[in-house]
Amino acid sequence: MDSFFASIEIRDNSSLRNKPVAVAGKANERGVLTTCNYIARRFGLHSAMPTKKAIQLCKDLVIVPVNIDKYKKESIEIFKIFNCYSKKVEPVSIDEAYIDVTDSDYCSGNPEIMASQIRSCIKKDFGITASAGISINKLISKICSDWKKPDNQFSISDCEVSSFIKNVDLHKIPGIGKVNFEKCRNLDMQICSDMYAYSSNDLSDLFGSYGNNLYNLIRGIDHREVETNRVRKSISVEDTFIKDIESIVECKSNISELYKKLTSRCQNLEIPLELVKEIFIKIKFSNFESITRQTKCNNLNLNQYIKLFDSNLDVITKPIRLLGLGFTLRQGNENIVQYDIFDR
């Protein structure tokens, strides 16, 4: 869905139409934008931007508080539309999904018509718009879904993939985050075809184990299946403080409170704590730099987090804006499954 949270709020309050709107935490409580509509994006606003900065960039910005329960309710109903067209639906987030329509008989098996119908149903029944990408795999479909936003769709056929992907910016490739993209820029690589001179071994030397997968992705090759029973990858909680913390004692007090939130979340999700493999702490400093530190652990307890924090006191040289706690789980086959649900 297009700027889902903001779209829901604008739909429910007609006075917000044609205005820059953001769903966000309060500026005086150091909140950040969860999303904003396309009018607001013209001013350079984006998700995760501090609300205070967003208001500086867009003086007429209307801030609406987050109402996650409302958005979840709408999402559940919208996903029912997806399930009408295919049994193979993989939720990616509250407002995004992959739908495998390979074996679907709807619309004579035409995926473009199906996408158009789904988008029309969402607009008619929920009063918001959605965009879609149609192609041969998850990678290309995801890139296509962003190609003509908002309220549109874009498709790339099998025979068009090679010519299409070579001109795609590298930052659109999954796994190329800020660090890897900066590494690419230093090597004068901006688009996928800039990497074609590098072998799989070359890319592995540059990017580690990710290099082998990257070799395929930049060529539009993606063998990932649509997973209908997708397992969450991590569970964690975090808190942004109204005022930066400089006291180690105060930090530990907040870690204790976060631990209570984490264990409560575990109980609600019925997480098997005996499968804990690794715990981690996330720290964001006043200058917005962040670090994550982790350690292997076969159980979950507060002392382990305090010990992990204490072992990294040498890197805590600035006031702390945010703290987060989390853990990874061990599967029976030793594969690590991470649950990633930061409490905002």
- 180 phi/psi in degrees, rounded to 5: -65, -35
**HSE, side-chain direction, 13 A CA sphere, residue 135:** 27
For residues 73 and 282, give the distance between their C-alpha atoms in angstroms, rounded to a whole number: 30
DSSP conformation letters of 210-271: HHHHHHHHTTT---PPP-TTPPP--EEEEEEEEEEE--HHHHHHHHHHHHHHHHHHHHHHT-
Catalytic site includes residue 225: no
For residues 195 and 181, give the distance between their C-alpha atoms in angstroms, rounded to a whole number: 12
**Radius of gyration for the chain, computed over Cα atoms and rounded to the nearest angstrom:** 22
Q: Which residue is catalytic, options 96, 160, 227, 278? A: 96
Triad 42, 122, 120: Cα angle to 5°: 95
Q: Is 128 exposed, middle or buried (0-12, 13-18, 19+ CB in 10 A)?
A: buried
Copy the structure tokens of residue 42. 């013209």
So which residues are the catalytic ones? 96
